[in-house]
Amino acid sequence: MNYLIWRLHRNQAFFAGAVLALMTILLLVTGITMAHDYHVFLANCAATRSCGDTGQLFSGDGAIIDMVNLTVVVPLLFGLFWGAPLLAKEFEDGTHNLVWTQGVTRGQWLRGKMLWALVAAVAWGLAMTALVSWWRYPENALSSRFSAFDIQGIVPVAYSLFAVALGIAVGSLVKRVLPAIAITLGVFVAVRVVLAIYGRPHYMTPISKLFALAGPQGPPAGAWVISNSIAGPGGQSFGESFSPGDIPLACRSGLATGKSGTLPCLVTHGFQQLVVYQPASRFWAFQGIEAAIFVVLAVALLAVAYRRVLSRDA
């Protein structure tokens, strides 16, 4: 059974291995260069005391940064091209009937196919996220790791598991390749977007803190700022509803004429900025929470596929 699975899917394995090898070479070469530039920058800025000016450090690396950011779609590709066709193609072509008449039970057939698909996705995902996490070290030191939450740490592996499990479950239900791919695409994107926008900011209660409107203090370095609004003298937040009418009369003339005196005037009247944020120290806790969510979803989807295949008519 294992040999048959290898014969059927070896081209996919070879292609994935070749892509991983190319990505490894590219990230190693560019990563070493970026790390060198970062350490040179630290040494120079320490001497000139200008370490706050990091805007131009990686300004010439936009293309490779964009390419690394695009690795966010890799788990989805696993679901589309490994998970969705895994069972759907067998059912569509009718080849499952031949296998089941060769002394191989449905359970053995299904477990073998699912196991190798999941192992391949996890192995590829682990290798990719390890490379990206290492490559992003200089950027992580300069900005919040939350800004690249989806492509480093442990969540890409969980996304890969979920994508493949989703494709398998959908394929077991619709039994046709193209509809399985389309449904997998839609569901995967919907789940990821909903959790990223509405779930992730609230995995742990965010911290709300008042800071001066004009001052050096702000949220801690590396924090994920969820919202930043104006707060009145009593600490009440105006949020997106803040309007000129909320500004004291004495400060409105500067607002109307575009003069720079408005901000100092607001500070004088006790206005502050209200920042809601997640501290950098919660990065790994958030990674664990989100990874656990997608692993649980993957297990549930595999259970659906297993039940569907074992109960369907031959």
User: What's the pLDDT at 103?
Assistant: 62
Say if residue 25's pLDDT is above 90: no
Q: Domain range spanning residue 248?
A: 207-278
User: What's the pLDDT at 9?
Assistant: 59
Residues 177-191, mean pLDDT to the nearest whole number: 95
Say if residue 193's pLDDT is above 90: yes
Closest CA to 155 of 116, 125, 120: 125
> Does the residue 59 lie in any domain?
no
Q: Which amino acid is at 16?
A: A
User: What's the pLDDT at 291?
Assistant: 96
User: What's the pLDDT at 314?
Assistant: 47
Beta pairing class for 224-231 and 272-278 = antiparallel
Regarding whether 261 and 238 lie in a shared domain, the answer is yes
Q: What are the angstrom distances between the C-alpha of 132 and each of 105, 165, 247, 308?
A: 41, 24, 46, 37
Regarding whether 268 and 223 lie in a shared domain, the answer is yes
**pLDDT tens digits, one per residue of 28-85:** 888 787 776 776 766 666 555 555 555 555 655 667 788 888 889 989 999 998 889 9
Distance CA 159, CA 294 (A): 6
> Does the residue 191 lie in any domain?
yes
> Does the residue 2 lie in any domain?
no
Q: Cα 148 to the chain's mean position, in Å?
A: 7
Q: Which amino acid is at 237?
A: S
> Does the residue 254 lie in any domain?
yes
The pair of structure tokens assigned to 54 is 């990091």
> Does the residue 160 lie in any domain?
yes
Cut 0.85: pTM above it:
no
Regarding whether 138 and 235 lie in a shared domain, the answer is no
Regarding whether 261 and 158 lie in a shared domain, the answer is no
Say if residue 256's pLDDT is above 50: no
Helix axes 84-93, 106-135, angle to 10 degrees: 150
Residues 125-154, mean pLDDT to the nearest whole number: 86
Regarding whether 247 and 156 lie in a shared domain, the answer is no
**pLDDT tens digits, one per residue of 76-106:** 999 998 889 988 888 887 666 555 556 667 7
Q: Cα 214 to the chain's mean position, in Å?
A: 34
